[in-house]
Amino acid sequence: MRSRRFTLFSVLLISTISLLQGHASADLNIRSSSSPFSIALETLQKQLGYTFKSIALLRRAMTHASFSEENSRALSILGANVIDAAVSFQSLAKDIDISSKDLNRRISEISAVESSCTVDGLRLGLQKVVRVSPKTNSSAPAVVCGAFRAIFGAIAVDTADCDAAGDIFWAIHGAKVGAALPL
Ligand X SMILES: *[C@@H]1O[C@H](CO)[C@@H](O)[C@H](O)[C@H]1NC(C)=O
Closest-by-Cβ residue to ligand X is 137
Q: Does position 133 bind ligand X by CB under 6 A?
A: no
Q: CA–CA separation, 98 vs 88, rounded Å?
A: 10
Q: Determine the Cα–Cα distance for residues 9 and 44; give it in Å rounded to an integer.
A: 52
Residue nearer to ligand X on the CB measure, 108 or 139: 139
Interface stretch with ligand X, choices 15-23, 81-89, 137-145, 170-178 (CB under 6 A): 137-145
Contact map string, positions 142 to 171, toward ligand X, x by CB under 6 A = ------------------------------
Q: Is 119 in the site for ligand X (CB under 6 A)?
A: no
Shortest Cβ 67–ligand X spacing (Å): 16
Q: Are 40 and 130 in contact (CB under 8 A)?
A: no
Which of 129, 139, 127, 146 is CA-nearest to residue 42?
Answer: 129
Q: Could you say whether residue 137 binds ligand X (CB under 6 A)?
A: yes
Out of 112, 140, 142, 164, the only residue in the binding site for ligand X (CB under 6 A) is 140
Q: Count of alpha carbons within 13 Å of 183, Cβ hemisphere only? A: 9
Per DSSP, 63 falls in state: B
Which of 115, 136, 139, 159: binder of ligand X (CB under 6 A)? 139
- Separation in Å, CA 116 to CA 13, 109, 144, 169: 63, 7, 11, 12
**Nearer CB in complex with ligand X: 36/134:** 134
112 binds ligand X (CB under 6 A): no
Separation CA 85–CA 107 (nearest Å): 9
Binding site for ligand X (CB under 6 A): 137, 139-140
